[in-house]
Amino acid sequence: MQQKKKTGAENIRWDLSDLYKGMDDPQYEEDKRTVIREADAFAGSYRGKVASLSPDTFREALDRYADIMERTGKLASYAYLNWTTDTAKPRFGKELQESNERSSEVSAKVVFFLLEWLDFDEEKAKTWIRSNELAFYRHFLETSRLDKPHTLEEKEEKIMSSKSVTGAQAWVRYFDEVLGASRFSLDGEMLTEAEILSKLHDPDREVRRKASGSFTRGLKEMKHALTYVFNTLLADKYTNDRIRNYPHWLRSRNLANEITDESVDALVSSVTNRYDLVHRYYRLKRTLLGLDEMLDYDRYAPLEKSRKLIRWDEAKALVINAYEKFHPEMASVSRRFFDEKWIDAAIVPGKRGGAYSAGTVPSVHPYIFMNYDGQLRDVQTLAHELGHGIHQYLSRGQGMLQMNTPLTTAETASVFGEMLVFQELLADLDNPADKMALLVGKIDDTMATVFRQISMNRFENLIHRARREEGELTTDRFSELWIQTQHALYGDAVTLTEQYHLWWSYIPHFVHTPGYVYAYAFGELLVMALYEEYVSSDDGFNDKYLAMLEKGGSDWPHRLTASLGLDINDKQFWNRGMSAIEKLVSKAENLLPLIPKQNP
């Protein structure tokens, strides 16, 4: 058995003591009790009285409400962060479940507050929103009223919140634990989900082929459970959407994202109308790889035959250097993540796959979670999550109720961070083959982030509608709808094997956050346009960009981006991003004559 090379990230584990010293920390136990007492006291002070408050006293009530949400969020963050590092550990699972139940209990106790606010007539609400006393919370108050047509009576809201703990939340946790505990056999080794999927980026085609087969065999063993989870969550969402009178499955997500249905439709149409770029790119890559036929497990193959291992310290230096050149404050915040152990990067058994940045609460700081495997794409993942982390760190001044952005703009800083690192790496290369390898890696990511995510949005659209019209769906029916959307995406440029038919079943976004995936395309195309604005703008863009990040979710997305010269409400806006992608593909095509053909 070949010894796996060390990346230097084997001992990069986070220190959660800024949240709590440990699960036996007396403060942890005290906060569990305190948050319930505070919720009860809050209800005693304001239940039935919100309409009689003045803007001044309503501001005081909002401050108390935010404090309760922050303490709840701190407890929830600690439980969740611990659990994702070892989903098989019973103590972590127990704490996560208790945290979910506690959050539901707190929500039930204070739900009256926003319901009484929503009962205000529109004229009074507008007057209060415009008042100086409530200026700090203005955007929170505006967006909270978007849900007014879909809000229930207090007793019903309490039931919905309580049942979610043993309903959707329980099934999401089960999905994560099933995949977290799964192991995939490859050449005598038992690999985690993160490790086996990493093999699809291996330069050796035989490794990719065997990894694809191993992963599919694992999915087949889990297909009954995963199909049942999908069916249950689709039915649960349908029930909730009916009760709340949402006209279609995506309306609740669009409202949360502070974007209109029409804008989402324009985004989706702009991307699906340019699937020709996907076909064009993968034909180019097929030539570069020297393949007669490109199969699904070849999509992420790197060009270089011998993969260079990028050690953790090198990745750290690359990312911080790129951030430093853009703005010293971005580098300064980034260093804190490394120096103060705010990152968990080791690949260990039981750890959840993927990567994320958790904003936690304003009084603490974000934490970054990833599985670092030493590949160039892991450097880009580090840049991506640090972009999130910087955004979350800078936006803490907006308080608990406004620090977090909607998903549409949540990806802006992360993707912009990736772009800074990519351009930095590209500028340092002279050799055409090296440039092509880096360019192909970037286009691979763009294809996955824009086109593949929109194809997954099309799959989600089909399965939500089918579940509502046809009832419970079989594994084969899910696979049929999956392949339908994937054939549209790849055309005849990529041959989809029989094994690929099951690969819808492991994708967590469908389970965790229905409707999420289009936000990736939104963020990528926005950043493509944003980066072009940056390179063509006069001095001052960098400071404006950081000022936008500091605002977090305290204003509408279209107003935040307008400060940087972009109009995301223009239906033609997305074509600007598509043009930037086409330029990348054209650049790769123009390099092709200078590149020797590979043997697969």
Residue 497 has pLDDT above 70, yes or no: yes
Look at residue 517 in the predicted model and tell me its pLDDT.
94
Residue 3 has pLDDT above 60, yes or no: no
- List b or e across 74-94, with b for residues whose CB sees 16 or more CB atoms inside 10 angstroms: bbbbbbbbbbbbbbeeeebbe
Which has the minimum average pLDDT: 101-105, 245-249, 562-566, 587-591?
562-566
Which has the minimum average pLDDT: 44-58, 157-171, 194-208, 277-291?
157-171
Strands (E), 127-278: 184-186, 189-191
Full DSSP string of 496-563: PPGGGGGTTTT-HHHHHSTTTTHHHHHHHHHHHHHHHHHHHS-TTHHHHHHHHHHTTTSS-HHHHHHT
Residues of the chain with CATH 1.10.1370.20: 173-294+430-536+570-594
Distance of CA 87 to the CA centre of its chain: 19
Look at residue 160 in the predicted model and tell me its pLDDT.
87
Rounded Cα distance between 63 and 69, Å, is 10
Angle between the 168-181 and 205-244 helix axes, to the nearest 10 degrees? 170
The CATH-assigned architecture of domain 16-166 is Up-down Bundle (1.20)
* pLDDT (average), residues 32-41: 97
Task: Return the CA Rg of the chain.
Answer: 24
Tell me which H or E stretch contains 344. strand 343-344
Percent of the chain with pLDDT over 90: 80
Residue 377 has pLDDT above 90, yes or no: no
Distance of CA 67 to the CA centre of its chain: 26
Are 271 and 456 a contacting pair, CB within 8 Å?
no
Look at residue 570 in the predicted model and tell me its pLDDT.
84
504-562: pLDDT as tens digits: 999 999 999 999 999 999 989 999 989 988 988 877 899 999 999 999 999 999 999 99
Look at residue 598 in the predicted model and tell me its pLDDT.
61
3-state secondary structure of 191: strand
For domain 173-294+430-536+570-594, the CATH superfamily is Oligoendopeptidase f, C-terminal domain (1.10.1370.20)
440-466: pLDDT as tens digits: 989 999 999 999 999 999 999 999 999
Look at residue 430 in the predicted model and tell me its pLDDT.
82
The residue among 407, 456, 406, 466 whose CA lies nearest residue 238 is: 466
Rounded Cα distance between 85 and 368, Å, is 12
Confidence grade of residue 307 (pLDDT, cut at 50, 70, 90): low
Angle between the 154-166 and 205-244 helix axes, to the nearest 10 degrees? 160
Tell me which H or E stretch contains 356. strand 356-358
138-153: pLDDT as tens digits: 999 999 999 899 988 8
Residue 1 has pLDDT above 60, yes or no: no
Confidence grade of residue 306 (pLDDT, cut at 50, 70, 90): very low
Rounded Cα distance between 569 and 364, Å, is 35
60-82: pLDDT as tens digits: 999 999 999 999 999 999 999 99
Look at residue 353 in the predicted model and tell me its pLDDT.
84
Which has the minimum average pLDDT: 6-20, 271-285, 346-360, 525-539?
525-539
Question: Angle at the Cα of 311 (from 306 to 315), degrees rounded to 5?
Answer: 110
* pLDDT (average), residues 181-189: 94
Residue 312 has pLDDT above 50, yes or no: yes
324-357: pLDDT as tens digits: 999 999 999 999 999 999 999 999 988 988 899 9
Are 449 and 524 a contacting pair, CB within 8 Å?
yes
Residues of the chain with CATH 1.20.140.70: 16-166
More confident of the two residues 392 and 435: 392
Residue 424 has pLDDT above 60, yes or no: yes
